[in-house]
Structure 1
Amino acid sequence: MEWSAGAVARMLGISPTTLRTWDRRYGLGPSTRHEGKHRRYNEDDVARLKRMVELTESGVAPASAAASLTPAGDPDFWAAADQLDAARMRRVAVSLIARHGVVHTWDAVLMPFLVELGERVSSASCGVEVEHVASGSISDAMRVSGVALGEPAVLLACAPDEQHSLPLDVLAAALAERGHASRNLGARVPAAALVSAASRLKPRVVFVWAHDRVYAEQVPLDRLEGTPVLVAGPGWDAVPLPGEVQRVDALTTAVETILNRI
């Protein structure tokens, strides 16, 4: 059987607004599509939503509840990674994003995959090549999935000497999914280049990623006055921040904070 959004909301005793929010934020939307018609919820969709209601009513945070409803890894993605099959990894990631959205796919599948892969590399002292190919494939999937037109409201950049730019690709895709364009300067952005780009583009928000304190301390926060600045990554853990600079510690928080400022 298949049901409309209104029917599912009544069945579960939740508002249509909550249902739409869970679809948009966590990818808990209808799986069935019919040409020329609204998407419909099938029995598996409703079962997941019933569990979501149970978890949230028991006090579990919605983001945590939603993440628990998607496997913490995807067997197809792991198989493709083990074979260094970049094209297949990209296809799987794009498919997951289309079904569940950027934020949920990242939080529930891709980030846990990268964490586990990193632990394997650390413990076995091998597998770095898998990590590199997987990261590249995920970046490609994010760029394919997240394209928004218009003037960029957000400037994304890595700290000087910071080479891990995947978080920027993920955030750019998540913002594009909400209809907001960004300008991504990528890895190793010199301090002068960041200041120049902010001056030329006049974004509503500047976002800077750093995974090491040495890199974070090179970011010219004092020269970005007048523009709201968000920073993220473990590199900022012990770095004193000016009062107008805000740190965010999760993709969901970063997206919501940016959307509240643009």
Structure 2
Amino acid sequence: MLGVSPVTLRTWDQRYGLGPSVRTRGGHRRYQDEDVEVLRRMVALTGQGVAPAAAAELAQREPARPHPRGRAQLREDEAESARRGFVTAAKRLDEPLMLDLAGKLLTGHGVVAAWDQVFAPCLVELGHMVAERGRGVEVEHLASSSLLHALRSVPPTGSSGVLAALLSCAPEEQHGLALEALGAALSEEDVRWRNLGARVPARALCDAVLRLRPAVALVWAHRADIAEQVPLAELVAGSGAEIAVAGPGWAGLALPSSVRTPHTLTDAIRLVVSRVRG
């Protein structure tokens, strides 16, 4: 059911305490539903590249849940402290601490506040550090990876119905963390979405939009030469979805009049939600 061997289960039990709640007198393990959910999280986290020890610690916590709408943003002093703490953890390559800080921000304040006030500014700061010093790429990469894992911990909606949004990077675009933030925020809004990920070829993007028929198809690009590879005219003409583009790569490019251009995470959320809820 989990796709892992009994040997792996025994190892996780012995090393990390991810054992069953019940054992028979003969020592056989009897996993309850809650035990299986912990193991599912462990499998998901290790599959995303989280080190087993850190994954085990995270798996035993309650997963982040969508925050009530209208939760207040962080005060500026709180945001500054959170940014300082996350950047310090990143420079130390302290993945467990980054995951812990990110998870608490998401649970306490929601995706939009966490992204706008902490995550995005931290990524910008770390990017500038790498550009100025010519070193520290490992810091930037591990920080991005930690945020990716944290954002994916926000549970997707269990509701059925129309696919509200299909998210995709432009061809050759490899920077897709902003799309992960949008997806997590849409989960908080209880709407369905899918993300095609990085470097989606033009033909594959068109085929996916035609097959899935989302209410909104949004494409991310951070450079103009990458954005220009997106077949916007074909998407607009034949998909039936509302087409939107986001990211700095679209600035200054001539776009079809019907293409929407949300400039912030909140703008993108409103665009998607308005299409499925009126």
Normalised by the length of structure 1, the TM-score is 0.73
Over residues 125-169 of structure 1, what are the superposed CA-to-partner deviations in whole Å (9 max), with x where a residue is unaligned? Answer: 111111111011101100112422335321000000000010110
**Residues 138-177 of structure 1: pairs in structure 2 closer than 5 A:** 138-149=147-158, 150-151=160-161, 152-177=163-188
2: CA distance, partners of 1:260 / 1:73:
34
Structure 1 pair 69/246, CA: closer, same or farther in 2 (3 Å)?
Answer: farther
Q: Which residue of 2 aligns with 1:125?
A: 134
Structure 1 gaps, min length 5: 1-21, 29-62
1:72 Cα shift?
Answer: 3.2
1: CA distance, partners of 2:75 / 2:123:
16
SS at match of 1:161: coil
* Cα contact 2:222–2:250 (8 A) shared by 1: yes
Structure 1 pair 233/73, CA: closer, same or farther in 2 (3 Å)?
Answer: farther
* Cα contact 2:164–2:275 (8 A) shared by 1: no
1:193 to 189, 197, 204: 204
1: CA distance, partners of 2:155 / 2:90:
22
The answer to whether residue 261 in structure 2 is matched with residue 216 in structure 1 is: no
SS at match of 1:224: helix
2: CA distance, partners of 1:116 / 1:170:
18
**Residues 75-154 of structure 1: pairs in structure 2 closer than 5 A:** 75-149=84-158, 150-151=160-161, 152-154=163-165
Amino acid at match of 1:133: L
The answer to whether residue 69 in structure 2 is matched with residue 24 in structure 1 is: yes
Over residues 155-205 of structure 1, what are the superposed CA-to-partner deviations in whole Å (9 max), with x where a residue is unaligned? Answer: 000000000010110000000011012110000000011111101100000
* Cα contact 1:210–1:216 (8 A) shared by 2: yes
1:23 Cα shift?
Answer: 6.1
Q: Which residue of 2 aligns with 1:36?
A: none
Q: Which residue of 2 aligns with 1:180?
A: 191
The answer to whether residue 213 in structure 2 is matched with residue 202 in structure 1 is: yes
Structure 2 gaps, min length 5: 1-66
Amino acid at match of 1:137: S
The answer to whether residue 266 in structure 2 is matched with residue 252 in structure 1 is: yes
Q: How many residues align?
A: 204
Over residues 104-126 of structure 1, what are the superposed CA-to-partner deviations in whole Å (9 max), with x where a residue is unaligned? Answer: 01111111111111111111111
- Over aligned residues, Cα RMSD in angstroms? 1.8
Considering only CA atoms, is the larger Rg found in Structure 1 or Structure 2? 2
2: CA distance, partners of 1:83 / 1:69:
23
1: CA distance, partners of 2:207 / 2:141:
31
Structure 1 pair 109/125, CA: closer, same or farther in 2 (3 Å)?
Answer: same
Over residues 199-256 of structure 1, what are the superposed CA-to-partner deviations in whole Å (9 max), with x where a residue is unaligned? Answer: 1100000010000011101111111122101110010002111011011111111111
Amino acid at match of 1:131: E
SS at match of 1:260: helix
2: CA distance, partners of 1:102 / 1:167:
11
SS at match of 1:223: helix
1: CA distance, partners of 2:194 / 2:156:
11
1:78 Cα shift?
Answer: 2.3
